[in-house]
Amino acid sequence: MPRSITAFSNPLIKRIRSLRDKRHRRAEGLFLAEGLRILTEAREAGRLPQFLFHTAEGARHPLVDALVTATESAGGEVIETSADILSKLSGKDNPGAVVAAYPEFDTSLDGIDRHAAPLWLVAERLRDPGNLGTILRTADAVGAGGLILVDDCVDPFSVEAVRASMGAIFTVPLAKTGWDAFERWLRTDAGTLVGLSLATDLDYQAPTYPAPTFLMTGNEAQGMPEAIAAACDLLVKIPMYGKADSLNAAVATAVMAYEVRNQLRRRS
């Protein structure tokens, strides 16, 4: 049976709220997710929380009931609390019906099987959590094998990135690594590295993309360093017909990802 917590001063409430800070997430090995849709996506993907918080009213929803049952069966702890405490945990004035703390996943490059999918997304020094979450959603939508984060990217387990992913954090394989380690790993087997760049005249629809293709997006403000761009097998450019000189990083990734996916689909 769920236990009840009604005090803001409760040590567990303070502990879970501290997960909004990266330092505490690392120390605890836990991260926050909120909202019935995202938590249901996680449950359906086989990911269950260590701690699940809900209100008495929320518990009457069949999907919340399913989350409670699955969490308890897996050995997690379920806590009934107030909407005000859910708001404190989530940082939102109008929190969803549920907030949960999940164990962080293994994000080592060793867990990536490049032959599991013909398309992979790679982000280099991505700094905006909204962009990261959106790229995760794109990876899910196009059926990419996963997302590989290279060098100093924003924390994918931040509340903002998890929220922006709309559940894709639980469905898309994720790895974090440095550029040197990624390049060594990439060159040990098949794989074409395609970089999005303004410093090329090659139209993004011109090449024939092989499988597996690793599609790399650089830092939002600076793009890719010259050394990384030089290491790409192909540099391609999305043409701009208006006054803007480039697309948002997440939008550009989506445009490119669907071009690669559509080519692969037509050939199959």
* Residue 90's CATH number: 3.30.1330.30
87 and 118 housed in the same domain: no
- Report the percentage of the chain scoring pLDDT > 90: 87
Does 199 score more than 70 pLDDT? yes
What is the pLDDT confidence band of residue 21, given thresholds at 50, 70 and 90?
very high
Question: What are the two backbone dihedrals, phi and then psi, of residue 173, each rounded to the nearest 5 degrees?
Answer: -55, 140
> Considering its fold, how many domains does the chain have in total?
2
188 and 88 housed in the same domain: no
Give the pLDDT confidence score for residue 244 in this predicted structure. 87
113 and 75 housed in the same domain: no
Cα 124 to Cα 44, 151, 156, 158, 209: the distances in Å are 30, 6, 13, 17, 20
Looking up tokens 């806590």 gives 79
123 and 41 housed in the same domain: no
Average pLDDT over residues 172-200: 96
Give the predicted TM-score (pTM) of the model: 0.94
Cβ neighbours of residue 66 closer than 8 Å, sequence gap 6 or more: 40, 43
| Residue after which a domain boundary falls, among 60, 78, 103 | 103
| Residue after which a domain boundary falls, among 103, 130, 157 | 103
Average pLDDT over residues 131-145: 97
Give the pLDDT confidence score for residue 2 in this predicted structure. 72
What is the pLDDT confidence band of residue 1, given thresholds at 50, 70 and 90?
low
Helix (H) or strand (E) holding 79: strand 77-80
118 and 91 housed in the same domain: no
CA–CA gap between residue 180 and residue 228 (Å, rounded): 10
Per the structure, the complete domain to which residue 92 belongs is given by 3-103
135 and 238 housed in the same domain: yes
What is the pLDDT confidence band of residue 39, given thresholds at 50, 70 and 90?
very high
49 and 167 housed in the same domain: no
130 and 249 housed in the same domain: yes
How open is the CA angle 145-76-109, to the nearest 5 degrees? Answer: 25
Does 117 score more than 90 pLDDT? yes
151 and 96 housed in the same domain: no
| Residue after which a domain boundary falls, among 84, 103, 122 | 103
How open is the CA angle 8-11-16, to the nearest 5 degrees? Answer: 80
* Residue 217's CATH number: 3.40.1280.10
192 and 132 housed in the same domain: yes
Give the pLDDT confidence score for residue 133 in this predicted structure. 97
247 and 169 housed in the same domain: yes
| pLDDT digits 0-9 by tens, 5-14 | 989 899 999 9
29 and 121 housed in the same domain: no
